[in-house]
Structure 1
Amino acid sequence: MENPQTWEEVDIWRKAERQRLAAGRLALSVEQRASLTREIIARLNQAVEITPGRIISAYFPYRGEPDLRPWMAQISSRGARVALPIVATKNAPLTFRLWTPEARLERGVLGIPVPAGTEEVTPDVVLAPCLGFDRSCYRLGYGGGYFDRTLAAFEKRPLAIGVAFAPFQIETIFPQPHDIPMDRIVTDQAIWTPV
């Protein structure tokens, strides 16, 4: 489907595109992903101001996503407070719990580790992994709508940054009214802001 027009057509297109992008990411070797991730981390250090006490929500890697755990430990040692997103209720906004390298973890939704019993916080910065992204800084995720729902629910919106491998930039995600663009997309090649 080259140019979907209706929401139903966009939904069909997105499902196929998600499968294509996920397969492409998993086709990257471990070494390729690690190399690209190092470049992403270098750019995150430019894109995110790290100050003591600032709450930055990152994520644990899932299905070949950039592995930001070394960066999370680094910014934690510099005084930032790191949080991880939690799916507490299906089809509801995410919640966020503090994480440290010493935090006890438990299995969350999809088996992704989450902090066990740490303080729930409101982040100043939210990093969201992207399967794909477009030049207007819309991200294509797994389709659950959690990050869009969460950003829409914040009283004071945090800085929202999508994290992606550059080869997975697409022309458009065909944004719909519920889609919320990121303030920035950080890749291994660039830091994008919406056009």
Structure 2
Amino acid sequence: MDAMTPDSFTDLKRQARKQSLDARKAATREARASAATRLWAQLRETRGVVIAGYMPKGSEVSPLTAMRALWRDNTICVPVVTAEGAPLRFREWWPGCPTEEGAFGVEIPTEGGWRVPDILIVPLVAFDAGCNRLGYGGGFYDRTLAGLANARTIGLAVEAQRLVQVPREANDRALDYVVTESGVHRRPGTE
């Protein structure tokens, strides 16, 4: 078998992104709502930690309902792109906090402190049975997760985003869990 060239690997990732984004867009509202409810159920007993959610865009499954519920007993923050090529930073978020449009058209808080999350709820384009994640291609979460090795990572998706195998590079870090409307998928070796 021939070795994969950088261009063919890039094409493979592009095709996987297109397939998964199309599948995510076609997913029902009920599937997205069920995945979000399952996320809250997975975290409902969590108390006194810093949880990074995200402000959803497009057809992403929204973690906002879970974030609102978890805010009562935890500190919630959301990612902020501060520079191209830099890891994400996380700014405190609360229901109704003032926001402005940040990078990529995503709303970000304009007030609140910077936090280091214990748990990250991570958006994704695709995932596989090993909880490998395919993102949008900017590398923001790859750089961020590399610096947060002890944080628990939870992907939020619909089952339609699941691939047989996500194209991976050496610096890609598998998530601990991926929550969908069908259940909680655990990375092999994760409790």
TM-score (norm 2): 0.90
**Distance across 2 between alignment mates of 1:142 and 1:111:** 14
Deviation of 1:160 after TM superposition, in Å, equals 0.8
Aligned mates of 2:117, 2:47 — CA distance in 1: 13
Q: What residue in structure 2 maps to residue 165 of structure 1?
A: 158
Distance 1:50 1:122, change over 3 A: farther
Aligned residues: CA RMSD: 1.8
Once residues 53 and 114 of structure 1 are traced to their aligned partners in structure 2, the CA distance between those partners, rounded to angstroms, is: 23
| Superposition deviation, residue 71 in structure 1 | 1.5
Shift of 1:149: 0.7
Which residue is 1:54 aligned to?
49
Matched, 1:11 2:10: yes
Residue 184 of structure 2 corresponds to residue 178 of structure 1: no
Q: Give SS of 2:115's match.
A: coil
Task: Calculate the TM-score normalised by the size of structure 1.
Answer: 0.88
Gaps of at least 5 residues in structure 2 are none
Q: Percent identity?
A: 28
- Following superposition of structure 1 onto structure 2, how do residues 26-41 of structure 1 map, counting pairs within 5 Å? 26-28=25-27, 32-33=28-29, 35-41=30-36
Q: Check conservation: 2:134, 2:167, Cα contact below 8 A.
A: no
Deviations 1:125-184 (A, max 9, x none): 011111110111111110111111101023x52101111100110011121101100011
SS at structure 2 position matched to 1:83: strand
In the alignment, which of 110, 122, 129 is matched to residue 128 of structure 1? Answer: 122
AA in 2 matched with 1:24? A
User: Hey, which bits of structure 1, 4+ residues long, moved more than 4 A?
Assistant: none
Q: Deviations over 1:13-51 (max 9, x none)?
A: 1112212222232234xxx22x12332233223433643
Q: Please give the alpha-carbon distance, in whole angstroms, between the structure 1 residues aligned to 2:160 and 2:99.
A: 32
- Aligned residue among 141, 145, 148 for 1:151: 145
Gapped runs of 5+ residues in structure 1? none
Q: CA deviation at 1:189?
A: 0.4
